[in-house]
Amino acid sequence: MIVVGVDGSVQARAAMAWAANDAFRMHQPLKLVYAVDRQPYQIARFPDADRPDRLRRTGQKALNEAVALVHERQPSVEVTTALEEGPPARILREQGRTAVEVVIGSRGLGAVTGALLGSVGDHVAGQAEAPVVVVHGGQRPAHGQIVVGVDDSPGCAPALAYAFQQAALRSSTLRAVHAWRRPVQAFGTELPHEAGEDRVAREDMVTACLQPFKRHYPDVLVVEDVRFADAVEALTRASQEAELLVVGSHGRGSVSSALLGSVSRGVRHHTPCPVAVVR
């Protein structure tokens, strides 16, 4: 099952369209979730006693419109809905416990709840058990390439598994990007042969990380891209012509460019294509 957040915004509609296409490719049912967050209305300046019912009616209307959008885009995809009470971030995390992925808009400014704000995306992507795909609004051309960040941390393997699966489903090229900054030398300067050895070691590490997945997905064309650069900058540049960027939610391997939470958060806010964050 794929869970997608709904709030009536343009960004949420973009997320629904992306999720509907992915549900079709993955042969998964789609669950549309609207979170009724009453907290903003439990203050004195909103005295309307009918407001709670109005909130639910607004949510149900958004869900009905979302179902129609999915049926228009992918008629064969099975769709269910959920109108849940509570903060959007918590509701989406709970709904995502049994999901293969959670899809949300990058920023939602719905007329009532403003549900899928950037902070909600941060909380969901950082804590959800399933992969979380953050989709920006607007149409993008199909470039036929998926980008994945690679490091030597144990947390990188789930991100690679998801990226290879997506590349296989889309018949896309997979660009595996590893970026690092060498530490400042305490005394003297780094010798050329030391820099060359460092690069070779990193290239070997990337090849070793990819090898099990290459065997499992022999038809996926993989480009190994090792760069001396800032991780956020390298991934953002590589994703300019990508359909999807995949990163781990954190990494604590021995390589200094491991994909920490700050990296996944940085690319979500600077990358034009959808970003999948995989724990």
Q: Average per-residue pLDDT in the chain?
A: 81
The SS3 assignment for 33 reads strand
Any idea which of 32-41, 58-67, 134-143, 230-239 has the lowest mean pLDDT?
Answer: 134-143
- Distances 146 to 8, 91, 238 between C-alpha atoms, Å: 28, 29, 9
Sign of CA pseudo-dihedral 120, 277, 145, 256: positive
Return the number of other C-beta atoms located less than 10 Å from residue 195's C-beta: 13
Q: What integer is the mean pLDDT of 98-119?
A: 62
Q: In the prediction, which pLDDT does 115 show? A: 40
Window from 78-87, 142-151, 193-202, 264-273 with minimum mean pLDDT: 264-273
Q: What pLDDT is attached to residue 25?
A: 96
Classify 148 as helix, strand or coil. Answer: strand
What domains are there in the chain, each with its CATH number? 2-135 (3.40.50.620), 145-278 (3.40.50.620)
CB 137 within 8 A of CB 165: no
* Weakest mean pLDDT among 134-143, 222-231, 251-260: 251-260
- DSSP letters, 208-271, are HHHHHHHHH-TTS-EEEEEEES-HHHHHHHHGGG-SEEEEES---SSSTT---HHHHHHHHHH-
pLDDT tens digits for 118-128?
456 666 765 67
User: What CA–CA distance (Å, rounded) separates 201 from 62?
Assistant: 52
pLDDT in tens, 133-172: 999 876 667 779 999 999 888 778 999 999 999 999 999 9
- pLDDT band at 111, cuts 50/70/90? very low
Averaged pLDDT for residues 215-220? 96
Q: pTM of this prediction? A: 0.83
Residue 15 has pLDDT above 60, yes or no: yes
